[in-house]
Amino acid sequence: MADLQDHPYADASAVGELDDAPSGAAEAPTPAEIDVERARVLLAAQLVVDGHNTLAQELDRTHWHDLQHGSALLDTDIPRIRAGGVGAQFWSLHVAPGHTAVRATLDRIDAVRTLIASCPEALRLALTAADMTDARDCGRIASLLGPVSGTALEDSLGTLRAYHALGVRSVSVAGTHWTGAPDGLTPLGEELVREMNRLGVLVDLSGASAPTMDRVLDVTKAPVILSHSAAHALTPHHANVTDDVLRRLHVNAGVCMVSFAPDQVACHLGHPATLWDVADHVEHVRAVAGPECVGLSGSYGMATDAPHTIGLEDASCYPNLIAELLHRDWSEADIAALTWGNAARVVREAQAVARPAA
Amino acid sequence: MTAARLLEEARSLLASFPVVDGHNDLPWALRQNAGYDLDRLDIAADQTGRLHTDIPRLRAGGVGGQFWSVYVRSDMAGDDAVSATLEQIDCVDRLLARYPADLAPALTADDVEAARASGRVASLKGAEGGHSINNSLATLRALYALGVRYMTLTHNDNVPWADSATDEPGVGGLSAFGREVVREMNRLGMLVDLSHVAATTMRDALATSEAPVIFSHSSSRAVCDHPRNVPDDVLAQLPANGGVAMVTFVPKFILPAAVEWTRRADENMRAHGFHPLDTTPEAMRVHAAFEDADPRPVATAATVADHLDHMREVAGIAHIGIGGDFDGTAFTPGDLQDVSAYPNLVAELLARKWSRTDIAMLTWSNPLRVLRDAEAVSRALASRPPSTATLRSLDG
């Protein structure tokens, strides 16, 4: 499948001769071939659980795509997900807030489930941690539904349970009015978090305010996720997470899935974001929250010409990042935890919390 | 035969061929009267006086299958209607989880038969009104995925793609998108329910549907001229379609004197600032006061049997069923006061010399056959992709 790829970093020789970079552009990171090879070997054993892909939104805007054979217009298609070593994918069901959010969310769920059903050789719906493992072992990309927008719950626990019954496994709490209270959560917000715990729906804190993150971490009995957040200490972006919260995440045993989105990871003013910046963020989160609380979130699912981080332009690029981390002397155990272990553990533990006490 | 002997015969018949009832509004009653708190109205206990429905009375009534309505009021629209429908579905699922020894979840005809074999009430879900899908076929598919097995195309108000029997003519039956909704329901295996819809919509749906349709709770317009009932020309189309019209017990639809009385009572309710369908205790008190001054004409099992006699004449014995609408109506016939009373209706039919076979078709076999036929149509259409049509793309 790799021969279908047209990616400059998949093969170092493709960029080897580029010695005069256009002025103003950052130097393109080119991981050593030996590290990329090791990265591929590692990924073959421990695939990536990716926290956030917005393909479903992109499919709203564009009509013609051949995801099975590849689409030059998108940064995500099945050949590139496979080349990237992705074994499990959270498909975002985000919709704009408003008076048709429930309907739009049901539309999204239907679209993603139809997409999964239309690619049975590549994708398989996963509702549990065991489903993730089974799908991986069958060579399928485990597809998890989520997050849905918290604003699409209509303040209704019944609607939350209906989404869960339709397969949704995470809810993004950012932007809801029940997280707008001074102490971070209204009583309804607390009840919703408890109900998510009871159902085994992950609470996704990416983009939430600091008081909300604090309050959710007080209330929740299950590990939380940050589906697409980088370190606020390195890049002060509203969707990034502070060191204080990262330290609390360590106690909660949740996972912060580091976003590759350029505006969230650019560390150096005036310089475009690169793979090195992402590696810096991953290292920072590992240092503060611990190696068992860090994961990856490509934040792909956009048009090819949307802004991307240099070196991580599409869903096939994860080996480049792993190669860089190997270059920085990460242990294989830490890399396995980063790619698959941590996120899969959080899904499993959230399920264990949901299971009634025996 | 004496009345007691007839009743005994009816009970023994129902033990073998229990009622599959097309419509029961218990979920809405639990929403209105208990805020979905299933401890406040525990249907494992006798709730006579508070609800028409509870498990002991379902058992006594010989009910073997029930379509629980996940109705939401048709003045709800958009996401409010969708979200409220999801809450109604959630309510049914919570009932099923709470009373597993008495209620069995059912999605197919086989499930209904298995429930009978295990001595439980097969529980299916039906949505009442196209407003529940907010003009979205994906939302329709979501309802199917959550277990909804019929959808009434409208409730008391038109939807943008279908006319209601109790609203002004809108699109004149089904619009192009309305026909696409019917086709998508055929593909999914969700029954098209034509209760509540205008006669024009009934005819359009019968012309469009590849699967048998149902009337989940409608009686005969020839016997009692009310828009909620089915005209004879439509009943006469049921043999060709294979569908089933399930007679309802609501006095204000089936008894001409009650139709007139209800018109007066509704005026009184509106004068007091209540919606005529309001079943809150305050509204019921206003209703009761009116009733003291103007005694309500009382329907009986014989009134329902008059409808069934006529419907059998026009549609045929294979195309009639029962849809009581318990907990969806403030008043019931005198001897069909709650879900324990189906034996009274069966006894009335026995007295009218209906054969045991005919009664078994009415109570059990016909609805089962329709479910099974709709499943077969869905399988035959399996190669058709999910429809991506929208209201705008088809109706402009």
Predicted local confidence at residue A5, as pLDDT: 40
Name the least confident of A61-65, A196-200, B8-12, B328-332. Answer: A61-65
Size of interface A-B (CB pairs under 8 A): 70
Name the least confident of A114-118, B23-27, B191-195. Answer: A114-118
Residue B84 domain-assigned?
yes
List the one residue out of B294, B307, B301 whose CA is nearest residue B332: B301
The answer to whether ipTM exceeds 0.85 is: no
pLDDT above 70 coverage of chain A, percent: 90
Contacts of A185 (CB under 8 A, 6+ apart): A178, A179, A193, A212, A215, A216, A219
CB A103 to CB B146 under 8 A?
A: no
Residue A225 domain-assigned?
yes
Residue B268 domain-assigned?
no
Residue B289 domain-assigned?
no
CB B146 to CB A162 under 8 A?
A: yes
Output the pTM of the full model. 0.85
Whose tokens are 């910046």? That residue is: A277
Residue B30 domain-assigned?
yes
Taking only the tens place, the pLDDT of each residue in B134-146 is 999 999 999 999 9
Domain housing A85: 40-357
Residue A220 domain-assigned?
yes
The domain total for chain B is 1
Taking only the tens place, the pLDDT of each residue in B348-396 is 999 999 999 999 999 999 999 999 999 999 999 999 999 999 999 999 8
Predicted local confidence at residue A25, as pLDDT: 47
Q: Which of B25, B157, B306, B327 is catalytic?
A: B25
Name the least confident of A10-24, A246-260, A266-280, B115-129. Answer: A10-24
Taking only the tens place, the pLDDT of each residue in B2-15 is 999 999 999 999 99
Q: Which of B52, B131, B196, B310 is catalytic?
A: B196
Residue B185 domain-assigned?
yes
Predicted local confidence at residue A61, as pLDDT: 77
Taking only the tens place, the pLDDT of each residue in B141-198 is 999 999 999 999 999 999 999 999 999 999 999 999 999 999 999 999 999 999 999 9
In CATH, what number is assigned to the domain containing residue B105?
3.20.20.140
3-state secondary structure chain A: CHHHCCCCCCCHHHCCCCCCCCCCCCCCCCCCHHHHHHHHHHHHHCCEEEEEECHHHHHHHCCCCCCCCCCCCECCCHHHHHHCCEEEEEEEECCCCCCCHHHHHHHHHHHHHHHHHHCCCCEEECCCHHHHHHHHHCCCEEEEEEEEEHHHHCCCHHHHHHHHHCCECEEECCCCHHHCCCCCCCHHHHHHHHHHHHHCCEEECCCCCHHHHHHHHHHCCCCCEECCCCECCCCCCCCCECHHHHHHHHHHCCEEEEECCHHHHCCCCCCCCEHHHHHHHHHHHHHHHCHHHEEEECCECCECCCCCCECCCCCCCHHHHHHHHHHCCCCHHHHHHHHHHHHHHHHHHHHHHHCCCC
Taking only the tens place, the pLDDT of each residue in B47-87 is 999 999 999 999 999 999 999 999 999 999 899 999 999 99
Residue B138 domain-assigned?
yes
* pLDDT greater than 70 at residue A236: yes
Is residue A356 very low, low, confident or very high in pLDDT (cuts 50, 70, 90)?
low
* pLDDT greater than 80 at residue A221: yes
Compare all CA atoms of chain B with the CA of A98 and give the residue at the minimum distance: B79
Q: What is the mean pLDDT of residues A283-307?
A: 95
Residue A156 domain-assigned?
yes
Token pair belonging to B312:
């059998």
Whole-number average pLDDT of chain A: 90
Q: Is B272 a catalytic residue?
A: no
Residue A313 domain-assigned?
yes
CB B142 to CB A99 under 8 A?
A: no
Candidates B38, B79, B135: best to mutate against A (most CBs of A within 10 A) is B79
Taking only the tens place, the pLDDT of each residue in A70-109 is 888 889 999 999 999 999 999 999 999 999 999 999 999 9
In CATH, what number is assigned to the domain containing residue A60?
3.20.20.140
Q: Is B266 a catalytic residue?
A: no
Predicted local confidence at residue A315, as pLDDT: 94
Domain housing B175: 3-255+298-386
Residue A21 domain-assigned?
no
CB B146 to CB A165 under 8 A?
A: yes
Residue B108 domain-assigned?
yes
Query: How far A105 CA lies from chain B's nearest CA (Å)?
Result: 9
The domain total for chain A is 1
Q: Is B157 a catalytic residue?
A: no
| Amino acid sitting at position A148 | V
CB A103 to CB B136 under 8 A?
A: yes
Q: Which of B52, B217, B226, B307 is catalytic?
A: B217
Residue A188 domain-assigned?
yes
Is residue A257 very low, low, confident or very high in pLDDT (cuts 50, 70, 90)?
very high
Is residue A27 very low, low, confident or very high in pLDDT (cuts 50, 70, 90)?
low
